[in-house]
Structure 1
Amino acid sequence: MIRKATLLAVVSAALLVPVGVATPGTAAAKTSTAQASRQGLVLTVSSITPDWAKGAADVIKVSGTLRNDTGSDLSGLVVRLRYSSQPLPDRAALETFQADQTDQTLPGQASPTSQVAIAAVAAGASAPWEFTLTPAQLAHPALPRFGVYPIAIEVQQAGWRRLAVQRTFVTYAPPQPKTVRNKLAVALPMIDQPHRVIDQPRRPDDATFADDKLSAALTGKGRLADLLRIAKAAPPSVTWFVDPALLDDLTAMSKPYTVAGKDGTVKKPADAAAAQWLADLRTALADSPVVATPYADPDVAALAHHGFDTQVGRAIELGGQKAAQLLRPEVSTSINWPASGLLDADALDLLAVGKPGVAQVRKVLLTSANLPQQDQQVTQTTQTGQTTQQTAFTPGTTTPDATATLYSVAGPVTALVADPVLSRLFEPGGGAGSTLLSRQRFIAETAMIAAEPGQTTPRSIVVAPSRRWDPNPTLVNALLKTANGLPWLSLTPLDSVKPPKSAAVRAARTQRAGLTYTDQDRKEELGRKYLTPVKEIARKAELTSLITTDKPPSAFDAAVLRLTSSAWRNQTRAGRAAAELVKDAVDARMDMITITGADPDRPRTLAGSDGVVPVSVKNSLPVEVTVDVEVTSNNPKLLRIGPQPSRRLVIGGNGQSGTLQVPMTAGSGVSGDSAVTVQLRTSDGQPYGKPVKLIIRTTGYTGIALVIVGAALTVMLAAVVTRVLRRRSQRRLERAAKSRESEAT
């Protein structure tokens, strides 16, 4: 049986009736400390010991302070306990008591003994208060039974005028009869938005960040600093969901990096805080179960609905690789926590298929809005891109087991459904006292679950706060410490949560209505307008790998996956800016393979009616490429392309070129310029880059014409030679005649 009873008092209490209002019995909703300070009296409960009671005579001490912010002196105040002698029947009643801040739900009985009088409190001053109670005081007759008892601490003036009130619970859990000890799995996210835009392993100087926000988050009260504080103190059974893209970004920051700005890029020195944060995280999570999200936390539902069939599998694979490289070798990728904890059948299929033979998802962590209880009403609200649920339990129902079985094209997938109320308690409520309030509500909720009728074996409960939460370390650590000490709970890793083996037990415990994905959920996804250019970038990025001989994974895989991150759901403008930078980088890389001599004023010559024309391709990449060169005539009547034994070129990197000899035949009597189009293709036939137009100039000189011209030149040469010989002979005769004349003389 549950063994203790709990009294919670909230650290910040709301002022329900301003001092100037004399209407008795008025109650209003809770407000933050700041609001209460402007309105009047602030009731603070600073200590409750013990957290819960296991004996009817256990003395529970409650203490706190009153702060007078009314601007006037107050006198004749009484702080007293209001209670109900009957425990709450179920979680629905507990929710109603906490949510409905009206007199109708306020406990009807006032304790004559658990109260303290405060004679006067000056304006701006504070006064302490303290009283005790026992579980026996709450029951009539004084034999309390196990349960969660609603109580309220109120401040009255003049015996009737209520100035402030705070609600909470006392949990009474005697040792006998014993209750079932349920399994509690806590999943905590360490997910951020992408900050880096470009990262090319072969160009370490090209790691460019879109902003420098991570630097501020690492220290002081920054979000990542708070997450690390929680990780250091959390029990080793807590499961962490870590986005490897975050680790990747911080690793890049631990070296000199570049930040893009409006006026160009800014060089940043290595951030020592990033390196220290990573080292501390490795130590903190050394013994804890860790799940790697798909790289950059892509919007899986949106990708499924817009034809990104391969990116999800690649994201799972890359996420596992990066986590093993940057965090530790043993990191799971078989559990997926989709954006907002919501997916439909299409997204489930993509996750289950994953990358065949490499990485698949076998469990999904969902909200109860996505897989609701059959008799549970869920109202969704979306703020800053995060979907939350306001859950209305049906009176008399029991909490279903956290597991359910879904069916995908790749087989069954286990769904792990987070409890909406318990998960919400792990998120900051705002205002002083939220830690105490959340802790005591947590004790009451889990005790109520343990005491629900019909249990013979332990059930599974899953807690999962919002994926991009900004946590309060004090609150989270207090709840984890409390959960670890409750006798009706057993903390367990998330991966150990499995459906009951018996089909009958599964049917009785799950009570789920099936996957529910609304039109509003679909509207929250990344839309077609955003994803269409991203899809084109992804296509081109893949070509930069396919064109190489070895065909390694694209150097742009990580950059493209960051563009598909669910973080861009509520900030598509920033996502588009990042997409432009990635597009420019992809285009620049594709332009490193070019057809040389494609200048329109540099035509290539085809001598005669047929022959070969060289087409050269230059590779400025640092790796070898395999290129198919496709040449087509723009007008086959004027110029035909002849058959080729091979169109493939294998070209070394770093500026080397390859040349393909292309046979061409000009049409009969054709002379002048004709055009051909050259398209580079990958070895699997995909076009690489834009087609290039080349001008081919045909001379019209056939082979016979060349023979005739040659013969004519020979005849002309013979005539010239004959004439020269004749002149030489004539000059010789003239010299001989002159010689005879001289002798005669």
Structure 2
Amino acid sequence: MAEAADIQGISHSPARRWLRRTASVILGAPLVATLLAGPAVPGAQADEASKAPSGSSTVDVTLDSLAPSAPVKGDTLTVSGTLTNRSKETVTDARVDLRVGPRLFGRTSIDTAAERTGYVPGSDPAAIGGKYTLKIAKLPSGITQNFTLSVPVGKLGLDDAGVYQFGVSLSGQTSRVPYEQVLGIERTFLPWQQNESDSRTRITYLWPLIASAHLTAETGSDEQQTPVFADDDLAAELAPGGRLEQMVSLGRQLPVTWVIDPDLLAGVDAMTKSYRVRVGDTTIAGKNQVVAKQWLTQLESAVADDKVVALPFADPDLASLAHRGKNVSGSLSHLQNATEVASPTVETVLHVKPSTDFAWPVEGAIDPSIVDVATSAGAHNVIARSDSLQETGGLPYTPSAARPIGGGTTAVVADYRLSRAFEGDMSNAGNSTLAVQKFLATTLALNDQDTDDERSIVVAPQRMPTAAQAQSMARALHALDDERWTQPLDLVDAAEAKPDADATTRVPGTSQYPRKLRSQELPTQAFQDIKATQASLDSFRVILTQPERVVTPFGNAINRSMSTSWRGRPLEAQQYRDAVRTYLHGLTNEVQLISKSDVTLSGRSATIPVTVQNKLVQGVDHLVLRLKSDNATRLRLNDGSAVAEKPIRIAGGHSQSVKFDASANANGQVQVRAQLYTEDGTPYGEEMTFTVKVSEVTPTVLLVIAGGLLLLVLAGIRMYTHRKRANADGPSGGDGGEPEQPSDPTPDTGPESGEPSGTGEKVDR
């Protein structure tokens, strides 16, 4: 029947069609899966194999140490490092070789060699071989193995003085590649200068002591004004092994120029005494006085015979001021103040007189506006960098750092390659070794450049090097101790050195300022916040009897709000500014008017008391309390005007009640406003308003009241007289006479006298 139906074109029912399709899918699914999965497996395996390390990237070779860094004849060069098999196969029949390449000429060739990765036959030199090879039978997958090789310098084949490429390679074979090949290589540089060079490059190395802000504007109410720190992180940097401790202990042995933020000295000096640390909503006593004292003692000893350059207090961000802040009135005055307090701070703490004639924009990037701001506070030298003030004259050598850029200003241009040599993770021994060797190679290449002029090169590293970065910098500088091709020079002398007449002196335009650095600048709102805080401080200081207790900590905090250390930390910067403003607002509110309830005034005149409270520790003065009636027709004050004023002077922790005379002319309610002002007319604090209800008594009412009082008096007199008469008409004495009746009239004459009457006196006859 089904066949007949098919022949006749009769269609199946929907249920039957669904069953047939479902069965087809179920039966065909395994076949489809097999077909799809079959060719996919080899493809996946091929992709995985292609991603596996191969060739000279099979084994990762690192150089953890190379000593000596700048060998001389007779030395033995010792190289240590690690080998890590990154492939999935075991390396067999391996050996570690040393390779010394041909001499490199110029800084560009050094940069090119440093960027090369992998082994290139024909370009990379042959191995030294012989007994200066380390054999390794097997290096399993994922395993790391240490190695050490030593070779006399005389076996390296070094000829003329200069920079040579130096490499360590591992050769071996794997099951997939069963023949010997180079499976890993690491390159570095070997400076070779047997004797002192005929001319030596003078190197100025800046050694920065700068830290982020830790001190707050808050101080204790005690006589010493105990400082309050936002945290105790500074103590960790000062402790043995900490970043700042390493900077001092290493720097004291180096020929460097110390570049110091005076705010750091002020903070550490505050830690040597009693201090508090904020924890949540409270503070606890700080306990790191010994650490702070030891660090300051070591620093004072370290800088005693060295040149010290003091940056403006708290290291203000010059680029942010130039690009965002100078259009906000008053911003540049903070830079002036920060510069003025720099030298006294350093002299007080370290007992040395620093130079304050240098400005250091972030990463040495400058434009005309930055130069203008940098020199506005009196600096005549701006520390720039050669990737900002770039050479355009095609000089075949690196010119001296000093460049006159007009207006009596000198740009001290640091070499950007040397300045950035120790950025990155220097806690990795391999990174540190490569950085040290490249630094030394670059300085030797500089000295070998074709010029007869004696040059001075400045190195301006990152502002806040880590402990590991500082250790790497120190290793590199110690390698130059014998002064074979360099000699040290301090920053002041470098700025005064004779400039190269052919060097570029044109300051790049504002549009050429690096976009990345511009994105890290403080926003315009930051300077508006600072302006508002300064305005509040100015209003507050004039009423204080001891303004220095407030002006100094808040002035320093405002300078910290502009610090370069806030770059890359916009949220923390905003929180710091908010904390300063909030604390100042809280102090200003300690001097306030006490809220007053409505006053009812009965009669034509009365006094209105207003209370001013001072909860500060110190007294306040130079304040005026002004009372103003909104309706002078109904209520007048003091001398009959709508406004009355009285001076305010209150001791710390006290209140004062000030009384104003008031006179009413009509009934009703009057709004009265009370406001404190400074003597120059600036409002201080919040205005207080209250209502005076006037109930005036009219003349008619007074007449009625007076008439009533008169009637009461007359009634009292009548009652008194009546009682007196009643007493007089009572029983007489014991003479037996008849008693006088109450109705009898009182005699209107007295008894006759025998004396002569006086003149003008009326006498009865």
- TM-score w.r.t. the length of structure 1 is 0.77
Cα displacement string for residues 709-739 of structure 1 (whole angstroms, at most 9, x for unaligned residues):
7777666555544443333333333344444
**What is the CA–CA distance in structure 2 between the aligned matches of 1:112 and 1:722, rounded to whole Å?**
141
**1:582-661, aligned counterparts within 5 Å?**
582-596=580-594, 598-599=595-596, 601-603=597-599, 605=601, 608=604, 617-621=612-616, 622-634=618-630, 647=645, 649=647, 651-655=649-653
**1:64-463, aligned counterparts within 5 Å?**
64-65=79-80, 67=82, 69-70=84-85, 72=90, 74-75=92-93, 77=95, 79-84=97-102, 87-88=104-105, 90-101=106-117, 107-110=123-126, 116-123=132-139, 126=146, 128-132=148-152, 137=157, 144=160, 146-157=161-172, 161-173=181-193, 178-179=198-199, 181-200=200-219, 202-203=221-222, 207-235=227-255, 238-262=256-280, 264-304=282-322, 305-306=324-325, 307=328, 308-354=331-377, 360-374=378-392, 397-406=396-405, 411-427=407-423, 429-456=426-453, 458-463=454-459
**What is the CA–CA distance in structure 2 between the aligned matches of 1:603 and 1:740, rounded to whole Å?**
63
**What is the CA–CA distance in structure 1 between the aligned matches of 2:313 and 2:77, rounded to whole Å?**
49
* C-alpha contact 2:598 2:692 (8 A) present in aligned 1: no
**1:496-511, aligned counterparts within 5 Å?**
496-498=493-495, 506-510=500-504
The match for 1:730 among 718, 722, 727 is 722
**What is the CA–CA distance in structure 1 between the aligned matches of 2:569 and 2:647, rounded to whole Å?**
45
| Aligned amino acid, residue 417 of structure 1 | V
* C-alpha contact 1:73 1:122 (8 A) present in aligned 2: yes
| Aligned amino acid, residue 575 of structure 1 | A
* C-alpha contact 2:312 2:338 (8 A) present in aligned 1: yes
Residues 1:732 and 1:51: Cα distance change in structure 2 (over 3 Å): closer
**What is the CA–CA distance in structure 2 between the aligned matches of 1:624 and 1:163, rounded to whole Å?**
80
**What is the CA–CA distance in structure 2 between the aligned matches of 1:49 and 1:733, rounded to whole Å?**
138
Residues 1:636 and 1:372: Cα distance change in structure 2 (over 3 Å): farther
Cα displacement string for residues 521-575 of structure 1 (whole angstroms, at most 9, x for unaligned residues):
3221122455544443333233221333575435422233333333233223333
**What is the CA–CA distance in structure 2 between the aligned matches of 1:637 and 1:449, rounded to whole Å?**
89
**What is the CA–CA distance in structure 1 between the aligned matches of 2:560 and 2:671, rounded to whole Å?**
42
Residues 1:489 and 1:733: Cα distance change in structure 2 (over 3 Å): same
* C-alpha contact 2:426 2:472 (8 A) present in aligned 1: no
Q: CA deviation at 1:467?
A: 0.5
Residues 1:65 and 1:193: Cα distance change in structure 2 (over 3 Å): closer
Residues 1:484 and 1:550: Cα distance change in structure 2 (over 3 Å): same
**What is the CA–CA distance in structure 2 between the aligned matches of 1:631 and 1:397, rounded to whole Å?**
79
Structure 1: state its 5+ residue gaps: 1-16, 29-38, 355-359, 376-393
1:521 paired with 2:544, answer no
* C-alpha contact 1:373 1:513 (8 A) present in aligned 2: no
Which has the greater radius of gyration?
2
* C-alpha contact 2:172 2:180 (8 A) present in aligned 1: yes
1:63 paired with 2:63, answer no
**What is the CA–CA distance in structure 1 between the aligned matches of 2:663 and 2:721, rounded to whole Å?**
52
Q: CA deviation at 1:682?
A: 2.8
**What is the CA–CA distance in structure 2 between the aligned matches of 1:43 and 1:727, rounded to whole Å?**
127
* C-alpha contact 1:244 1:323 (8 A) present in aligned 2: yes
Q: CA deviation at 1:205?
A: 6.6
Residues 1:325 and 1:161: Cα distance change in structure 2 (over 3 Å): same
| Aligned amino acid, residue 332 of structure 1 | S
Cα displacement string for residues 674-701 of structure 1 (whole angstroms, at most 9, x for unaligned residues):
2233333333443322222243444445
Instruction: Give secondary structure in 1 for the equivalent of 2:239.
Output: coil
The match for 1:744 among 714, 738, 741 is 738
**What is the CA–CA distance in structure 1 between the aligned matches of 2:600 and 2:352, rounded to whole Å?**
58
Who is 1:465 aligned against?
A: 461
The match for 2:540 among 544, 553, 576 is 544
**What is the CA–CA distance in structure 2 between the aligned matches of 1:269 and 1:76, rounded to whole Å?**
56
| Aligned amino acid, residue 168 of structure 1 | T
Q: CA deviation at 1:316?
A: 2.3
Who is 2:23 aligned against?
A: none
1:566 paired with 2:586, answer no
Q: CA deviation at 1:417?
A: 2.0
* C-alpha contact 1:190 1:241 (8 A) present in aligned 2: yes
Residues 1:426 and 1:234: Cα distance change in structure 2 (over 3 Å): farther
Instruction: Give secondary structure in 2 for the equivalent of 1:497.
Output: helix
Instruction: Give secondary structure in 2 for the equivalent of 1:689.
Output: strand
* C-alpha contact 1:81 1:115 (8 A) present in aligned 2: no
Who is 1:387 aligned against?
A: none
User: How many pairs does the alignment contain?
Assistant: 662
Residues 1:638 and 1:298: Cα distance change in structure 2 (over 3 Å): farther
| Aligned amino acid, residue 192 of structure 1 | A
**What is the CA–CA distance in structure 1 between the aligned matches of 2:149 and 2:553, rounded to whole Å?**
65
1:688 paired with 2:684, answer yes
Cα displacement string for residues 170-210 of structure 1 (whole angstroms, at most 9, x for unaligned residues):
4454769823x332211111111112323337545763322
Cα displacement string for residues 279-310 of structure 1 (whole angstroms, at most 9, x for unaligned residues):
22222222222233333333333344232232
Instruction: Give secondary structure in 2 for the equivalent of 1:366.
Output: strand
**What is the CA–CA distance in structure 1 between the aligned matches of 2:196 and 2:288, rounded to whole Å?**
60
| Aligned amino acid, residue 209 of structure 2 | M
**What is the CA–CA distance in structure 1 between the aligned matches of 2:258 and 2:419, rounded to whole Å?**
15
Q: Which segment is superposed worse, 263-272 or 463-472?
A: 263-272
- TM-score w.r.t. the length of structure 2 is 0.75
Q: CA deviation at 1:616?
A: 5.2
Who is 1:378 aligned against?
A: none
* C-alpha contact 1:403 1:497 (8 A) present in aligned 2: yes
- Give the CA RMSD over aligned residues: 4.0
**What is the CA–CA distance in structure 1 between the aligned matches of 2:461 and 2:205, rounded to whole Å?**
9
**What is the CA–CA distance in structure 2 between the aligned matches of 1:42 and 1:341, rounded to whole Å?**
35
| Aligned amino acid, residue 319 of structure 1 | A
**What is the CA–CA distance in structure 1 between the aligned matches of 2:382 and 2:340, rounded to whole Å?**
17
Q: CA deviation at 1:662?
A: 6.1
Residues 1:150 and 1:695: Cα distance change in structure 2 (over 3 Å): same
Instruction: Give secondary structure in 1 for the equivalent of 2:532.
Output: helix
* C-alpha contact 1:313 1:351 (8 A) present in aligned 2: no
> Taking every aligned residue pair, what percent have the same amino acid on both sides?
23
* C-alpha contact 2:636 2:642 (8 A) present in aligned 1: no
**What is the CA–CA distance in structure 2 between the aligned matches of 1:47 and 1:167, rounded to whole Å?**
12
Structure 2: state its 5+ residue gaps: 1-48, 174-178, 740-765
Cα displacement string for residues 449-486 of structure 1 (whole angstroms, at most 9, x for unaligned residues):
22322332x22211111112203343222222233422
* C-alpha contact 2:96 2:168 (8 A) present in aligned 1: no
